[in-house]
């Protein structure tokens, strides 16, 4: 079975565009949450969000290509370009490799669908009001289609859609392709754009934070006694995964190893997480890495700041703490908000940065830690420390779960 290594990473998040900007924000505890003007204009209950640069510059995207490319695609191009650059591969060289491409996105372009339907109705049901480029722009797989087109990636490509676990499950699938020997390289990640049409449904089910509309930087409060829901966000995150054979042939130094992967389904409720399933998928990923839970030095939790979700996840972690020792725990969503389909890949990349650089970012806005979590090591201030193994959790609406273990290269 081939080993799986990370050789390149790219990020577009509410904390900034690029690895350097995101690392600096993680270290400083900066919040990427702000008031979203269109949420205000549409009279939503929650008016805050994590808004990235949804139109980052790219030399690869010309005017013609942009007609087919929604914001999720534009962000994906920027993130993938950075991932290839870190891996030492120029854009024009990508087509020379036998490479697969797997993306993760939770939803299609709802704003585009709304706009074209509204235009059709407003102009008297006239098809001329509907852009002929609309279909490629609303496909959930639009981002990976654009990446395949621009970089000339000819291996198999597909999109995983499993709500909040989409891009984490895309990485699970990518790792399996490399382990099996089918591919030596897979570009993998996910993207999600943020707009009022996506926020509308979450507002309706009362999942979003509303208590800090006047202080948006404090709105995302995982593990806090005053937590009142998650903060919607957008972004893109991509990684280049390679087999050991490919790493040696190219003579590159991998950043870290994907040592353990696992997925399962809660199969109990559409929106409420399940502690049995959550602990089960974590245990399975750790065992897949050939480790014990006590070997895990850091967990990047799903940590959305919902009352039930945080409680269930901590309970699932407790069940694995056989010796009573808690790994260091945080939620980077406290800084970014919830990037939905992109969040799994982004948080895995955040974990690789912290593993590589020897620090753990603070779970911000947790000065009023819920007393129920006092027995676990929730990191609330920037911490310098070395650890060899990290675990990243993704637990989604619909019951799709994924966990990934990232390990230091020996």
Q: Report pLDDT digits (tens) over 290-323.
A: 999 999 999 999 999 999 999 999 999 999 998 8
What's the CA angle centered on 206, arms 204 and 210, to 5 degrees? 110
Q: Please, what are the domains in the chain?
A: 4-250 (3.40.47.10), 260-407 (3.40.47.10)
Retrieve residue 249's tokens. Answer: 């042939």
Provide the b/e sequence for 202-211 (b: ≥16 CB within 10 Å). bbeeebbbee
- Asked whether the predicted pLDDT for residue 154 surpasses 90, the reply is yes
Q: What share of residues in the chain are helix, strand, coil (percent, to 5)? A: 40, 20, 40
- The pTM for the full model equals 0.97
Catalytic residue (one of 69, 203, 302, 389):
302
Catalytic residue (one of 203, 256, 338, 389):
338
- Asked whether the predicted pLDDT for residue 109 surpasses 90, the reply is no
What's the CA angle centered on 158, arms 279 and 253, to 5 degrees? 70
Number of Cβ atoms within 10 Å of the Cβ of 379: 19
Tell me what the mean pLDDT of segment 178-204 comes to. Answer: 96
* Mean pLDDT computed over every residue of the chain: 96
Say which residue the tokens 């005053």 belong to: 226
Q: What are the φ/ψ torsions at residue 95 (nearest 5 degrees)?
A: -65, -15
Q: Report pLDDT digits (tens) over 21-68.
A: 999 999 999 999 999 999 999 999 999 999 999 999 999 998 888 888
Q: Is 164 a catalytic residue?
A: yes
Catalytic residue (one of 164, 203, 256, 366):
164
Phi-psi category of residue 189: left, alpha or beta, with phi > 0 → left and psi -120 to 50 → alpha: left
Tell me what the mean pLDDT of segment 181-199 comes to. Answer: 96
Q: Report pLDDT digits (tens) over 340-357.
A: 999 999 999 999 999 999
Model confidence at 74, pLDDT cuts 50, 70, 90, reads very high
For residues 27 and 337, give the distance between their C-alpha atoms in angstroms, rounded to a whole number: 16
Classify residue 290 as exposed, middle or buried by CB count within 10 Å of its CB (0-12, 13-18, 19+).
exposed
Residues 6+ apart with CB under 8 A from 23: 353, 357
Residues 6+ apart with CB under 8 A from 378: 223, 329, 330, 363, 366, 369
Q: Is 114 a catalytic residue?
A: no
Tell me what the mean pLDDT of segment 189-206 comes to. Answer: 94
Res 11: pLDDT = 98
- Asked whether the predicted pLDDT for residue 160 surpasses 90, the reply is yes
Res 10: pLDDT = 98
Q: Are the CB atoms for 92 and 16 separated by under 8 Å?
A: no
Secondary structure letter of residue 338 according to DSSP: B
Tell me what the mean pLDDT of segment 245-271 comes to. Answer: 95
- Asked whether the predicted pLDDT for residue 267 surpasses 90, the reply is no
């Amino acid at each position: 079975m081939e080993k799986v290594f990370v050789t390149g990473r790219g990020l577009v998040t509410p904390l900034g565009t690029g690895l350097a900007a995101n690392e600096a924000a993680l270290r400083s505890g900066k919040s990427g949450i702000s008031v979203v003007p269109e949420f205000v204009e549409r009279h939503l209950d929650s008016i805050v969000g994590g808004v990235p640069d949804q139109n980052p510059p790219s030399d690869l995207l010309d005017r013609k290509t942009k007609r087919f490319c929604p914001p999720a695609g534009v962000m994906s191009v920027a993130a993938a370009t950075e991932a290839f650059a870190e891996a030492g591969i120029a854009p024009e060289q990508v087509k020379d490799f036998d490479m697969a491409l797997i993306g993760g996105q939770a939803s299609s372009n709802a704003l585009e669908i709304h706009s074209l339907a509204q235009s059709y109705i407003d102009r008297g049901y006239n098809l001329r009001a509907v852009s002929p480029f609309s279909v490629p722009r609303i496909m959930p797989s639009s981002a990976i289609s654009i990446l395949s087109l621009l970089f000339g990636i000819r291996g198999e490509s597909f999109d995983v859609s499993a709500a909040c676990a989409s891009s984490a499950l895309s990485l699970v699938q990518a790792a399996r392709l490399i382990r099996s020997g089918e591919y030596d390289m897979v570009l993998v990640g996910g993207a999600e754009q943020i707009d009022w049409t996506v926020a509308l449904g979450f507002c309706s089910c009362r999942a979003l934070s509303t208590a800090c509309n006047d202080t948006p930087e404090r709105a995302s409060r995982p593990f806090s006694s005053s937590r009142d829901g998650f903060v919607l966000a957008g972004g893109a995150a991509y990684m280049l995964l390679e087999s050991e054979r490919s790493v040696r042939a190219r003579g590159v130094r991998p950043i870290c190893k994907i040592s353990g992967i696992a997925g399962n389904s809660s199969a109990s409720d559409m929106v409420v997480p399940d502690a049995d399933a959550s602990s089960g998928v974590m245990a399975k990923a750790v065992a897949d890495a050939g480790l014990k839970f006590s070997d895990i030095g850091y967990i990047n939790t799903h940590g959305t700041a919902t009352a039930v979700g945080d409680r269930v996840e901590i309970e699932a972690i407790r069940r694995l703490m056989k010796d009573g020792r808690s790994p260091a725990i945080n939620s980077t969503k406290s800084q970014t908000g919830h990037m939905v389909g992109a969040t799994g890949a982004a948080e895995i990349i955040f974990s690789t940065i912290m593993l590589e650089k020897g620090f753990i970012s603070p779970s911000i806005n947790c000065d009023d830690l819920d007393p129920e979590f006092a027995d676990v090591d929730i990191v609330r201030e920037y911490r310098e420390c070395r650890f060899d193994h990290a675990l990243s959790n993704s637990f989604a609406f619909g019951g799709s779960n994924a966990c990934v273990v990232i390990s230091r290269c020996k």
